[in-house]
Amino acid sequence: MLKILHFYKSYYPDSFGGIEQFIFQLSEAGISRGIVSTILSLSSRTDIDQRLIGSNNVHYATTNFEIASTPFSFAAIAQFKQLAAEADIIHYHFPYPFMDMVHFITHVNKTCVVSYHSDIVKQKLALKIYTPLMNRFLRSVDCIVAASPNYVTTSPTLQKFLPKVMVIPYGLNKNLYPEADEKHLHRWRQRLGERFFLFIGTFRYYKGLHILLDALKETGFPMVIVGAGPIEAKLKKQARRLGLENIYFLGALPDEDKVALLRLCYSVVFPSHLRSEAFGITLLEGAMFGKPMISSEIGTGTTYINIDKQTGLVVPPSDAAALRAAMVALWNNPLLAGYYGENAAKRFQALFTSERMAESYIALYQHLMKRHT
């Protein structure tokens, strides 16, 4: 039995992003394979310090302050040291600069794996200050794992550490998703109709939603947008200015509703235009449900999931006209859309199941443990 300690800045129920989903999927998949996972994260809440989520224990350290989207916690240092002493392997989730500091402050002497989820893209000044610590941290760990070969090729940081970089794609387990019952399916079918495009995600600067809205101008396509975030008001204002009448901002929804929408939608549109989008869990969900996809070529894992003219269409980033043309092409050719969707489902089964991801990580864990003995 291997004991794994995952460390990242946030986790359920405070945050439901792609990294949190990855940690959850990997931890749950490991249970049947003799892997016991513990998760340590920070939280601004004071009413929880420990919770069982799924089959694994989650510990929360109270956030004291935040700098450049990086939460810091004095209590996390002691908690990490205690939990690390009980673990066989420390599994870090990058980027999180405070995590690097804790690694050195506590003098960890354990096998260490880093899942490299993204370069630091937006915080350019902070990156200059952080780079010496980042390089020292990445040199100190045993292995760095990226989620796609595309990202390794296009990441200046990963290129510096190629001898210790390997690729293990993210994976999902459809059985961990709730079933969409007939009540949910009927309700959304009645409201949205039989065919619509779907976006699911947090409304962030790199998601390209403003490009999507420009692409929808004068098309009349039904577009369903699920999620919330800091630019929500700005996007709704843009939609009103463009006169988009067939657009549905549904807000954040429970998983039962998201699954129903994934089952019912015609295509998943994922317009992220900056490489802050390192992979795209929503694209993976679209592939899992056998949907044709539309995404942008940004040199990351999005184009590892969605292969142009095989599982969907890939367009240049920040190009509303190209995005519109791709939506028109799929909308006007249901046979082509169905072909892409079938291929997406096959590619998902071949590369992106949580079972495959877990087996790859467990093989890595075991290899590293043998190397340290």
The three-class DSSP label of residue 323 is helix
Q: List pLDDT tens digits, range 62-118.
A: 999 998 888 999 999 999 999 999 999 999 999 999 999 999 999 988 999 999 999
Single pTM value for the model? 0.89
Q: List pLDDT tens digits, range 157-205.
A: 999 999 999 999 999 999 989 998 999 999 999 999 989 999 999 898 9
The three-class DSSP label of residue 106 is coil
Tell me, what's the pLDDT at 172?
92
Residue among 49, 30, 31, 39 nearest 83 (CA)? 39
CB 198 within 8 A of CB 224: yes
Range with the poorest average pLDDT among 49-58, 232-241, 305-314, 346-355: 49-58
Helical H segments across 32-116, by residue range:
74-86, 97-105
C-alpha distance across the termini of the chain, in Å: 16
Beta strands in the chain (DSSP E): 2-7, 35-43, 50-53, 56-62, 65-67, 70-72, 89-94, 111-116, 143-146, 165-167, 197-200, 223-226, 247-251, 267-270, 293-296, 312-315
The three-class DSSP label of residue 107 is coil
Q: List pLDDT tens digits, range 123-132.
A: 777 778 889 9
CB 158 within 8 A of CB 151: yes
Pairing of β 197-200 and β 267-270: parallel
What domains sit in the chain, N to C, each tagged with a CATH number? Answer: 2-173+353-372 (3.40.50.2000), 175-351 (3.40.50.2000)
Residue among 19, 158, 9, 161 nearest 97 (CA)? 9
23 membership: H or E segment, kind and range: helix 18-31
Please give the backbone phi and psi of residue 180, each rounded to the nearest 5 degrees, phi first: -85, 105
